[in-house]
């Protein structure tokens, strides 16, 4: 399994970011063909300081080919283009190969 990891920097207006993300962006992401699961986590730091990232999203796909195919669809393109509408703190995208057992 492969996951697309998106790390969103701290936005200029966190409340507006959260509302837009929930009401507009997630529904777009849910339409991407081949998405098996979406997980979203709001970030915090252990020491109480402001973390580098505001939010982390993980979109799971069967494999690298499924991810690349999904990103090339109109739905994938729409979700990708939408990031510019709300991610005022920037967005870092990574790909992770999910390891089924710890230590592999």
47-74 tens-digit pLDDT: 999 899 999 999 999 999 999 999 999 9
- State pTM to two decimals: 0.90
10-33 tens-digit pLDDT: 999 999 999 999 999 999 999 999
Token pair belonging to 58: 């993980």
List, in order of start, the domains of the chain with CATH numbers. 2-97 (3.30.70.100)
Could you give the CA distance from residue 79 to residue 65 in angstroms, rounded to a whole number? 18
Three-state DSSP at 16 gives: helix
Phi-psi region of 96 (alpha: psi -120 to 50; beta: other; left: phi over 0): beta
Cβ(11)–Cβ(88) below 8 Å: yes
């Amino acid at each position: 399994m492969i996951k697309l990891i998106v790390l969103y920097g701290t936005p200029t207006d966190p409340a507006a970011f959260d509302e837009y993300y929930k009401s507009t962006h997630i529904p777009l992401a849910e339409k991407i063909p081949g998405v098996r699961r979406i997980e979203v986590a709001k970030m915090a730091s252990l020491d109480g300081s402001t973390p580098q990232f505001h939010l982390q999203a993980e979109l799971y796909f069967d494999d690298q080919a499924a991810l690349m195919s999904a990103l090339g669809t109109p739905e994938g393109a729409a979700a990708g283009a939408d990031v510019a509408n709300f991610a005022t703190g920037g967005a870092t995208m990574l790909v992770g190969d999910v390891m089924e057992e710890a230590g592999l």
